[in-house]
Amino acid sequence: MTDRRPVSAAGAITITPIVVADLHVEGEVMPVCVHVIDHPDGRVLVDTGMTELHPAVVAAFAPRLYPLNEQDFDVAGIDIVVNTHLHADHCGGNHLFAGRPIYVQRRELDDARREEDYTIREWVDAPDLQYVAVDGEIELLPGVRLVPAPGHTPGSQVVVVETGDRPDVICGDTAVWFGELDEPRTEGQRLVRALDPEKAWLAHVREPWRSGVTNAEGSE
Ligand SMILES: [Zn+2]
């Protein structure tokens, strides 16, 4: 990460996690977090959580929802949406952002539309959604890159944000818990470690993972 790109002002890009649901998995509560990137050129939302219950999700996770549109959250203020991947708990709020660009890897979009039991397809293809299907790495905004990170799904991507000397990475489910970054196994997990992030934000842990720190697991 030697060619770090300076932004207009130091610290101008910030990342804020927002809890949009709690899942109940094997007796544990697992949050679902989405992340807002405030950038001088626009406001980016990474993943959209869920806004309604669906029998398939209820059966698997008994979720409690805190939908973005029912929180003190400015839905209209989001300029760009990114889906790290299209599992149901990451795209269930996409319908709130009809008409705005939603960036996803093309492989992920194809798989979500084609494979059985991959996601809730009507959430992926809610009316009037405008997907921008990406092939590989792109710069979304100055200092904000989308990078493919296969592992959790073949079409997963992470968002690399230049917030300081080292980047922050918004990982989606590339790692579901901290141990998967402590001992990376998938291509995506190795990529995140190779980026040497200051913080790695996971979708299902409230606090960010930091390298070299004894990280507490996120369950509570
Ligand atoms: Zn997932």
Looking at the domain assignment, is residue 216 inside a domain?
A: no
The DSSP 8-state label assigned to residue 121 in this structure reads H
The token pair at 105 is 């890897």
Q: What angle do CA 152, 172, 117 make, to 5 degrees?
A: 50
Q: Is 206 part of any domain?
A: no
Separation CA 20–CA 23 (nearest Å) = 10
Residue 7 placed within a domain: no
Taking the centre of ligand 1 as the mean of its atom positions, its distance from the CA of residue 11, in whole angstroms, is 30
**What count of Cα atoms within 13 Å lies in the side-chain half-sphere of residue 65?**
18
Residue 25's pLDDT is 87
43-73 confidence digits (pLDDT tens): 999 999 999 999 888 888 889 999 999 999 9
Amino acid at 157: Q
Residues 94/122, Cβ–Cβ less than 8 Å: no
Distance 73 CA to ligand 1 centre (A): 23
Quick check: is 213 in a domain? no
Residue 124 Cα to ligand 1 middle (Å):
14
Whether the per-residue pLDDT at 220 is higher than 50: the answer is no
Judge whether residue 5 has pLDDT over 60.
Answer: no
Residue 220 falls inside a structural domain: no
- Whole-model pTM: value is 0.92
In tens, the pLDDT along 143-202 reads: 999 999 999 999 999 999 999 899 999 999 999 999 999 999 999 999 999 999 999 999
DSSP per-residue codes, 73-111: --GGG--EEE-S---HHHHTTGGGGTTSEEEEEHHHHHH
Q: Is the pLDDT of residue 3 over 70?
A: no
Say how many domains are in the chain.
Answer: 1
Between the CA of 134 and the centroid of ligand 1 the distance, in Å, is: 19
Q: What is the CATH number of the domain that holds 89?
A: 3.60.15.10
Q: Establish if 207 belongs to a structural domain.
A: no
Is residue 132 included in any domain, yes or no? yes
- Range(s) of the domain holding residue 141: 14-201
In degrees and rounded to multiples of 5, residue 20 shows phi and psi of -115, -5
Q: Mean of the per-residue pLDDT values for the chain?
A: 92
Which residue's entry shows tokens 């708990």? 89
138 located within any domain? yes
